[in-house]
Chain A
Amino acid sequence: MSNFTHLHVASAFSGHYGVTRPEQMAEAAVASGFSALAITDRDGLYGAVKHIGACLQLGLAPIIGVDLNIFDDNGSSLGRCVILAHGNNEGAGWATLCKIVSVAHERRASARNAKQGQRDKGIGIGRRTLAELLANGNCTLLLGPDSDVGREVVAGNRVKADELIENWHGLFKYPGSFGIEIVSHLTQPGTAFSSLQARRMVELADAHKIPAVLTNAVRYLEPDDALTADVLDAARHLEALGLFEEQPNAQAWMKPAQKMLALAIEITEDRARALELFDVTAKLAEHCRLDPPKDCGWGKPKTPEQSALGITGNPFEVLWRKAHSAIEHYYPNANDKLLQQVQHRLGQELITINKLGFATYFLTVADVAQMIRDMKIRSQARGSGAGSLVNYLLGISGVDPIEHDLLFERFLSTERSSLPDIDIDVESARRHDIYHAIFKRYGSQRVTLLSMQSKYQGRGAMRDSGLALGLADDEIDEIAKNMWRFSARNFRGALATKPELANFASVVEEDRRMNLLVDITERLDRLPRHISMHPCGVILGDASLLNLTPVEPSGAGLPMSQFDKDDMDPMGMLKLDVLGVRMQSAMAYAVREIERVSGKVLDLDAVPRDDAATFKAIRTTNTLGIFQIESPGQRELTGKHQPTKFNDLTIQISLFRPGPMKGNMIAPYLDGRHGFAKPDFIHKDLEPILRETWGVVIFHEHVIRILSVMTGCGLAKADEMRRSLENPRANHLVQQFFRKEASARNYSPAVIERVWQILEGFSSFGFCKAHGAAFALPTYQSAWLKTHYPVEFMAGLFTHDPGMYPRRLLLSEARRLGVNLLPIDVNCSTDEYIVEKSSVEKRSVEKSSVEKSSAEKIGVRMALTEVQGISEAEVARIIAEQPFVDIADFYLRAKPARRTMERLALIGALDALAGIKPSHDDADVALTRGDVLARVRQLNAIKKRPAQITDQPTLDFSGLGYSQTEQLPTGNPEMSMAERVQHELDIMHLDVSQHVLEQYRPMLDEMGVINSNELVGLRNKSEVLVAGVRVATQTPPMRSGKRVVFITLDDGTGCSDATFFDEAQSRCSHILFNTKLVIISGKTRRTGVRGVSIMAENAWDLKELWNQWLVAVEDRKQTQNLYV
């Protein structure tokens, strides 16, 4: 059988065009007897790395090319053509291909091509530019039926075709750089993909002595897939099927060599010519076979050159010196024993790093970490990298691996040659500054962002399928709403079994189009859908980076590689994840406010990690605003766990996941810790390992140590085995090894069996301790700040909003802590929540002692941005023009819109301008907020705001002792507290003046509602009533399958947690999901030392009860009056 290679193949990574993943193509190619296969995706090398990887695994020779639009000098399209890279030339062909693709994306127009309605982004390359790039002859361009030449051939204009082909031939002179692509999809004679036209193309090529190459312009693996391709075409055209020109048939599949030969014969009608076609194709294929390591840098880790890092001399020596010189800083008071331990550990890590050749990698990451520090931005490494002493000494990670018993081998070992992943958490608000700084520091030739491919799943698949079938948007939305929980692949199965889909299932049976909808949605399942920028990844390479990866615009102002995170390791590219974490921004904000207001410079990372006050505060379970442990579930766990030291936080974070919760690891741990049960270490050898968790295996590090101790295999091998545990195929090998070696070391069969049971079930439960410790650090730090600097910390939380709760709850928590909440004031507020010292104001004779002490208080000033509907411009103007003398002055210079002005008045932001003080009991001023409002309405009624007379100096009367120069209307009623709070809620969604519950106090007291902070003092099973704002409603999946509803209420003194089972739900489920202010009745249930929740019996709408109560009170009064 003659040798054939497919040279024009679109994989699923040709967006909205290809159907089959490269791995599947490669497998099928091998099965068909091919020895090589090309992938030529549209507009890029999106599938290239996956293709090369699959080929290497299967013993198939990889070929890579691209299918691109080519433009003439006037910008008109000359059609799509294939460009293939030649291989075995030290990467010259690959580099040229990458450059071609990068250039093609530079010319990207932003407008969609309105005429065609396609997602046409204007990607393509100018013919002249392409010719220049191909001048070295290390790629081949193929012109096919889609080109300008091909179109003239179809139209029968031979003379014109001759002319056009010479235009091409003239530009692409290098022998072998140019060819004609011969394709027949056996379409109707006279159409572009017919055998007749293919024959004409052969004739044309022969006449001009240009090589003719046979392909099948493949876009799917099997004919069946053509149907999926139809749907993708509809998605690409943004039109329903039937409204655009569809593909002609189902012939564009990966045909076996035999069929390709038959095609060649049909096209040429001459067996000898057909064999020549095959021969030329085979020769080109041979030229294009890649040698991945030599051509693409495959498997060769690359980091920035020494010079780019500013290093002279041997990088390993530099690393060694840097690490050693930091020992004193990080272990200042270490005794000899500890120092020895540090030295030994450091030596071991450095040996491994040296063996792997990763010294420059560590120096690079350390360089980035230092750069971030120099920018005064908070950062912390997360993940297994926290287990490395080198990382700790280089300032990359913030937890001491020796103190926390973390393993280097979990992060890096000679068993794995891949570049380790390092993730760095930074202040979210400054993330983009860091990307730009990285680009600037290492040069744009060494740095790119990376991409990620989203997949067709559930809703998205259904939408595009619905579009293809011409279904109406709302029909599709209705169905998509139901689909989101199921993978598209399993939808038909779900239809048959899930009761909530019963309605839809019957519709599907009756309606033909619905049936089709389900079928084609399943076909789309998990196909690549969109490329977008990976939100936090950065590739740091050497100067050859852009020769190894093509780039395209990311939308963030920096170029991104077309490769995704799974392509990094094979290509030897170093990816750094720089993740924005809002808590880091919040903490940085707090530290800055502390310095600004008190002058104290705080090094948060140097704060001792054993502060008793901090742990005490955590143990109260009032952990709102603290990183990782503020959810209702975490609060309950805190109540049971009662952490006292840092390691406890590491453990708690690691335990709070579905695996350990389901796997019954928490109870034995808590029982052991609190002395309710004797810990079972299974064997004395395991005691030192499991002591910290009272015999419970929680961490990856535990598994690694256990495997090493019981088999003697060493920590590095043990980590490999741990990874294999997760692999169902390699699992049994680990078991064999474990049983054999443990036996040989005389562990009893019972011990071996028990340990194996734990290890086997472990894979889904375990957590990397280094990861937990890295997370415990910001948990501790946020708790420390909340304990010692609550005002500044809450200000940080308000500004950066990191957690799961709405701002109003954080306000309530701040109030509970005694933080002064200063209302919006147009003279003081900005666009952030700033800490304010209330200064002693004017000398007043009647200075009471209360006034004196409150003068030194600090509080948090609410931000202008909370006002509903206020624009950025208005905020900016207010800040720029502050302070204002009176309301008219504000009106003139800040120029607020009428609604904004009124809203500000309603929430008291203008009170200060009228001399009204927040304490409300200043007898000096007789003005009310009602008066302010009246004044505002006067000003708002003015038709045209008078222009500001800027050259007239504003008279400053404040020094003269006049209270006001403006005459405000008087006699308007004061606003009650309830009204104030209501306006605040309406305009800011925040109850600033007092907790929204307070206005209902008389009724709550009469009913006997208790505060949530009193719950912990009650006996178990006490009957209680609690009230509050519903802040969390959760319905997690339960083992029983029945729904349980968990409700958390905030009443200003803390949070109460209530559980509603079936019976209780039946009484009040409509309250549970819709009502904001709730009263709950039930019995207390102790869950731990400081854990208490309520077994709920019923719930009521508080406002409804209030209205009823008011009526009852009125009735009572009337009744009383009758008897007076």
Chain B
Amino acid sequence: MGGNIQVSLSQNGEPVEFKWQGASYRVVEKPVRWFSRRQWWVEASRVQRGIGKEVLEVEMWRLHTNAGFVELMHPTPNEWRLVRTYH
């Protein structure tokens, strides 16, 4: 878990497909997105004005793929991490 994965997005920014550990997975249902939070007081080294959102909040996606459900974390525009899979 946790490694960086490659995600392809639709026109309105929703994941449609992603590659992980060599395999490709297709999203079969409309993805669900929400915003979760992080513990900046444990992780961050600075929290000056302007930096708040990026150390506090993180975008999450739950995708129904052809191989089951996955939860992805999307902390920065180019970073996608696999958080967990489940059925």
> Which chain A residues have a beta carbon within 8 Å of chain B's beta carbons?
185-189, 194-195, 223-228, 230, 241-242, 246-251, 468-470, 512-513, 515-516, 519-520, 522-523
Question: How would residues 10 to 42 of chain B score, 1 for a CB under 8 Å from any chain A CB and 0 otherwise?
Answer: 000000000000000000000011111101111
A242 touches B39 (CB 8 A): yes
User: Which of B1-9, B47-55, B73-81 touches A?
Assistant: B47-55
- Shortest CB-to-CB span from A27 to chain B, Å, is 17
A512 touches B34 (CB 8 A): no
B60 contacts partner chain A, Cβ-Cβ < 8 Å:
yes
- Shortest CB-to-CB span from A541 to chain B, Å, is 41
The CA-CA distance from A189 to B34 in the complex, in Å, is 8
Q: List 12 A-B contacts (CB under 8 A).
A: A185-B35, A189-B32, A195-B34, A223-B57, A224-B51, A226-B57, A227-B52, A249-B36, A250-B57, A469-B41, A515-B45, A523-B47
- Shortest CB-to-CB span from B69 to chain A, Å, is 12
Please indicate the chain B residues that have their CB under 8 angstroms from the CB of A241 in the complex.
39, 41
A226 contact from B32, B39, B45, B52, Cβ within 8 A:
B52
Please indicate the chain B residues that have their CB under 8 angstroms from the CB of A247 in the complex.
37
B39 touches A224 (CB 8 A): no
The CA-CA distance from A512 to B62 in the complex, in Å, is 33
Please indicate the chain A residues that have their CB under 8 angstroms from the CB of B82 in the complex.
none
The CA-CA distance from A249 to B54 in the complex, in Å, is 11
With both beta carbons as reference points, the residue of chain A lying nearest to B30 in the complex is identified as A269
Please indicate the chain B residues that have their CB under 8 angstroms from the CB of A194 in the complex.
34
With both beta carbons as reference points, the residue of chain A lying nearest to B35 in the complex is identified as A249
The CA-CA distance from A246 to B38 in the complex, in Å, is 10
Please indicate the chain B residues that have their CB under 8 angstroms from the CB of A249 in the complex.
34-37, 56-57
A187 contact from B35, B41, B45, B47, Cβ within 8 A:
B35
A522 contact from B42, B44, B48, Cβ within 8 A:
B48
With both beta carbons as reference points, the residue of chain B lying nearest to A518 in the complex is identified as B48
A230 touches B56 (CB 8 A): yes
B34 touches A186 (CB 8 A): yes
Please indicate the chain B residues that have their CB under 8 angstroms from the CB of A187 in the complex.
34-36
The CA-CA distance from A188 to B51 in the complex, in Å, is 23
Residue picked from B32, B39, B42, B48, most chain A C-beta under 10 Å: B48
With both beta carbons as reference points, the residue of chain A lying nearest to B62 in the complex is identified as A189
- Shortest CB-to-CB span from A1062 to chain B, Å, is 40
Please indicate the chain B residues that have their CB under 8 angstroms from the CB of A227 in the complex.
40, 47, 52, 55-56
B42 touches A519 (CB 8 A): no
If A186-B34, A189-B32, A189-B34 touch, does A515 touch B52 (CB 8 Å cutoff)? Answer: no
- Shortest CB-to-CB span from B24 to chain A, Å, is 26
Please indicate the chain A residues that have their CB under 8 angstroms from the CB of B87 in the complex.
none
The CA-CA distance from A242 to B37 in the complex, in Å, is 12
If A226-B56, A250-B53 touch, does A188 touch B36 (CB 8 Å cutoff)? Answer: yes
The CA-CA distance from A470 to B84 in the complex, in Å, is 31
A516 touches B41 (CB 8 A): yes
Please indicate the chain B residues that have their CB under 8 angstroms from the CB of A513 in the complex.
41
With both beta carbons as reference points, the residue of chain A lying nearest to B44 in the complex is identified as A516
The CA-CA distance from A516 to B36 in the complex, in Å, is 21
A519 touches B60 (CB 8 A): no
Q: Is the interface of B mostly helix, strand, loop or mixed?
A: mixed
With both beta carbons as reference points, the residue of chain A lying nearest to B71 in the complex is identified as A188
Q: How large is the interface on B (under 10, 10 to 19, 20 to 34, 35 or more residues)?
A: 20 to 34
The CA-CA distance from A224 to B49 in the complex, in Å, is 7
- Shortest CB-to-CB span from B52 to chain A, Å, is 4
A242 contact from B42, B47, B60, B62, Cβ within 8 A:
B42
B37 touches A523 (CB 8 A): no
A224 touches B50 (CB 8 A): yes
With both beta carbons as reference points, the residue of chain B lying nearest to A249 in the complex is identified as B35
- Shortest CB-to-CB span from A487 to chain B, Å, is 15
Residue picked from B40, B47, B51, B60, most chain A C-beta under 10 Å: B47
Please indicate the chain B residues that have their CB under 8 angstroms from the CB of A185 in the complex.
35
B46 touches A188 (CB 8 A): no
The CA-CA distance from A598 to B56 in the complex, in Å, is 76
If A188-B36, A469-B41, A516-B44 touch, does A250 touch B52 (CB 8 Å cutoff)? Answer: yes
Residue picked from A195, A249, A512, most chain B C-beta under 10 Å: A249
The CA-CA distance from A250 to B46 in the complex, in Å, is 17
A250 touches B44 (CB 8 A): no
The CA-CA distance from A470 to B57 in the complex, in Å, is 21
With both beta carbons as reference points, the residue of chain A lying nearest to B37 in the complex is identified as A249
Please indicate the chain B residues that have their CB under 8 angstroms from the CB of A515 in the complex.
45-46
With both beta carbons as reference points, the residue of chain A lying nearest to B58 in the complex is identified as A249
The CA-CA distance from A187 to B45 in the complex, in Å, is 26
The CA-CA distance from A242 to B41 in the complex, in Å, is 9
The CA-CA distance from A226 to B52 in the complex, in Å, is 7
Contacts A186-B35, A187-B35 known; 9 new A-B pairs at CB < 8 A: A188-B36, A223-B57, A225-B52, A242-B42, A250-B56, A515-B46, A516-B44, A516-B46, A523-B47
The CA-CA distance from A246 to B49 in the complex, in Å, is 20
- Shortest CB-to-CB span from B13 to chain A, Å, is 12
Please indicate the chain B residues that have their CB under 8 angstroms from the CB of A251 in the complex.
35, 57
B36 touches A248 (CB 8 A): yes
The CA-CA distance from A185 to B36 in the complex, in Å, is 10
With both beta carbons as reference points, the residue of chain B lying nearest to A189 in the complex is identified as B32
The CA-CA distance from A226 to B49 in the complex, in Å, is 11
If A227-B47, A250-B57 touch, does A468 touch B41 (CB 8 Å cutoff)? Answer: yes
The CA-CA distance from A523 to B50 in the complex, in Å, is 11
With both beta carbons as reference points, the residue of chain B lying nearest to A195 in the complex is identified as B34
- Shortest CB-to-CB span from B57 to chain A, Å, is 4
A188 touches B37 (CB 8 A): no
A224 contact from B32, B46, B53, B62, Cβ within 8 A:
B53
Please indicate the chain B residues that have their CB under 8 angstroms from the CB of A470 in the complex.
41
- Shortest CB-to-CB span from B20 to chain A, Å, is 22
A246 contact from B32, B35, B37, Cβ within 8 A:
B37
- Shortest CB-to-CB span from B56 to chain A, Å, is 5
Please indicate the chain A residues that have their CB under 8 angstroms from the CB of B46 in the complex.
515-516, 519
Please indicate the chain B residues that have their CB under 8 angstroms from the CB of A230 in the complex.
40, 56
Please indicate the chain A residues that have their CB under 8 angstroms from the CB of B52 in the complex.
223-228, 250
With both beta carbons as reference points, the residue of chain A lying nearest to B51 in the complex is identified as A224
B53 contact from A226, A469, A520, Cβ within 8 A:
A226
A186 touches B33 (CB 8 A): yes
- Shortest CB-to-CB span from B68 to chain A, Å, is 17
B45 contact from A195, A468, A512, A523, Cβ within 8 A:
A512
The CA-CA distance from A515 to B32 in the complex, in Å, is 37
A519 touches B47 (CB 8 A): yes
Please indicate the chain B residues that have their CB under 8 angstroms from the CB of A186 in the complex.
33-35
B37 touches A250 (CB 8 A): yes
Please indicate the chain B residues that have their CB under 8 angstroms from the CB of A242 in the complex.
39, 41-42
Please indicate the chain A residues that have their CB under 8 angstroms from the CB of B35 in the complex.
185-187, 248-251
The CA-CA distance from A185 to B47 in the complex, in Å, is 22
Residue picked from B37, B39, B45, most chain A C-beta under 10 Å: B37
The CA-CA distance from A250 to B42 in the complex, in Å, is 17
The CA-CA distance from A513 to B55 in the complex, in Å, is 15
The CA-CA distance from A516 to B51 in the complex, in Å, is 12
In the A-B complex, the 4 residue pairs with the closest CB atoms? A224-B52, A227-B52, A223-B53, A249-B35
Please indicate the chain A residues that have their CB under 8 angstroms from the CB of B48 in the complex.
519, 522
The CA-CA distance from A242 to B42 in the complex, in Å, is 9
Please indicate the chain A residues that have their CB under 8 angstroms from the CB of B57 in the complex.
223, 226, 249-251
The CA-CA distance from A228 to B51 in the complex, in Å, is 11
The CA-CA distance from A470 to B41 in the complex, in Å, is 10
The CA-CA distance from A189 to B62 in the complex, in Å, is 10
The CA-CA distance from A469 to B55 in the complex, in Å, is 15
Please indicate the chain A residues that have their CB under 8 angstroms from the CB of B32 in the complex.
189
- Shortest CB-to-CB span from A726 to chain B, Å, is 30
B47 contact from A246, A248, A520, Cβ within 8 A:
A520
- Shortest CB-to-CB span from B60 to chain A, Å, is 7
The CA-CA distance from A516 to B48 in the complex, in Å, is 8
A523 contact from B34, B41, B49, B62, Cβ within 8 A:
B49
Please indicate the chain B residues that have their CB under 8 angstroms from the CB of A246 in the complex.
37
Residue picked from B32, B50, B52, most chain A C-beta under 10 Å: B52
Please indicate the chain B residues that have their CB under 8 angstroms from the CB of A188 in the complex.
34, 36, 60
Please indicate the chain B residues that have their CB under 8 angstroms from the CB of A468 in the complex.
41
